Structure 1
């Protein structure tokens, strides 16, 4: 991938969208963990907790980018991303059981651990969208930092007011998953010689996830009424 090419910027745009729809949930964790601390300590906890979380995420993302170069794992990663995109469209998020702390170090530790666990989907999606380009990984992390620290309230309001944002994010993740599958080394030669099947699979996977997610959400709404 050439630096600052159309492909580079399209991958960067995909990473930004992924961060917007996936990192906002992690921002909520940061706010909840620090909410019972004194005001003067909350900023410190948010900064140090986010710094620790980003450091862990940076190592994890670089590791995933490297692992995705192993034959077969790009396919596995793509299949996992399809499931992540589907869950994004159908799962209702709940943070009612998230504890808050009045101890600064406990709050920081909680933020780092919670983000490491909850950020696995973000790590995999960003690594897949980066196509092995470490500069894109770094840019993705730099973008996710302000989102995690300042963006949670805005993201929640946007997604509640404009649910289509979630579907855009789910579509981007599904598209990333499909591209990972067709770029799998032992499948790539087949798809290169059969471009119609390549683009057909990308369209079917992306549309299939969106349609399945929409139908599942409708079914849940009907069942709850």
Structure 2
């Protein structure tokens, strides 16, 4: 893909969208780690922590993208991405993120960097699937999206609460990317032929997108049914 191709700009938009959807917890971690800092240090802690997190995430993503050339690894990544997509829309119980606040800027920065790295595997797998081997697209997508998430996390959360369909559309997009990633594994191309595998790419991608939405909907219905039964039993 070259920069004058529409596919590049579509992929860049997908990277930013996926990062925004999957990084809500990361934004909360940043806020919680810095909440005990003095007012004049809080912004510094958030900016430094975000900067370190960006650098580590770029390195981490590059490693994952490089490894994607190993046979069968894209299949594993696609299956992981399908679970990530379903986990994005499945009902969750509210709970504390368990991140300690710090009164030292550098301790807060360390907490942010480590927590972001640990929590970013879903982002990395998804972005690697969209960007492929386009390193410039990969880096630009990350650099643009992460500061946007930190600065606009409250707005993003408000939008998601106001328009839940954003999350469902994002989960479907992840399912679609997983399907494309699955069919792009070198092992499948070697076994069945690149042309044959490519001819099924869109069908499998659409099937995976639909499967994510259906499974997520069934999980939501099951959770609602369980709650009704609990209320009825308690009464």
Alignment match, 1:221: 224
Provide the C-alpha distance between the structure 1 equivalents of 2:112 and 2:197, rounded to a whole number of angstroms. 47
Q: Deviations over 1:150-182 (max 9, x none)?
A: 121111111111111111111111111100011
Shift of 1:194: 6.1
State the partner residue of 1:159: 160
Q: Distance in 1 between matches of 2:108 and 2:149?
A: 15
Cα separation, partners in 2 of 1:59 and 1:111, compared to 1, 3 Å: same
Counterpart in 2 of 1:178?
179
Considering Cα pairs closer than 8 Å and 6+ residues apart, tell me whether 1 or 2 has the greater RCO. Answer: 1
1:121 maps to 122
Within a 5 Å distance, the mapping from 1:27-106 to structure 2 comes to 27-92=27-92, 94-106=95-107
TM-score (norm 1): 0.93
Question: Conserved in 1, the CA contact under 8 Å of 2:172 and 2:212?
Answer: yes
In structure 2, the residue matched to 1:12 is 12
Contact 1:23–1:147 under 8 Å retained in 2: no
Matched, 1:209 2:212: yes
Q: Does the 8 Å contact 1:81/1:124 carry over to 2? A: yes
CA distance in 2, matches of 1:70, 1:153: 39
Q: CA deviation at 1:38?
A: 0.7
Q: 1:128 Cα shift?
A: 1.1
Note closer, same or farther for the CA distance 1:45–1:195 as it changes in structure 2 (3 Å cut). Answer: closer
Distance 1:154 1:30 in 2: 16
Q: Greater shift after overlay, 96-105 or 37-46?
A: 96-105
Tell me the secondary structure at the aligned position of residue 151 of structure 1: helix
Contact 1:74 1:181 in 2 (8 A): yes
Runs of 5+ consecutive residues of structure 1 not aligned to the other structure: none
Q: CA deviation at 1:14?
A: 1.4
CA RMSD after TM alignment: 1.7
Instruction: Please give the per-residue CA displacement for 1:175-218, whole angstroms capped at 9, x wherever unaligned.
Output: 11100011112223546326664332222111001110111022
Deviation at 1:6, TM superposition (A): 2.0
Give the distance between the partners of 2:145 and 2:86, measured in 1 at CA. 22
Shift of 1:98: 2.5
> Per-residue deviation at 1:96?
4.6
Long gaps (5+) in structure 2: 229-235
CA distance in 2 between partners of 1:94 and 1:174 (Å): 27
Which has the greater radius of gyration?
A: 2
In the comparison of the two structures, how many residue pairs are matched? 225
Instruction: Check whether the contact 2:50–2:147 (CA below 8 A) recurs between aligned residues.
Output: no
> Does structure 2 conserve the Cα–Cα contact (< 8 Å) formed by 1:75 and 1:184?
yes
Q: TM-score, normalised by structure 2?
A: 0.89
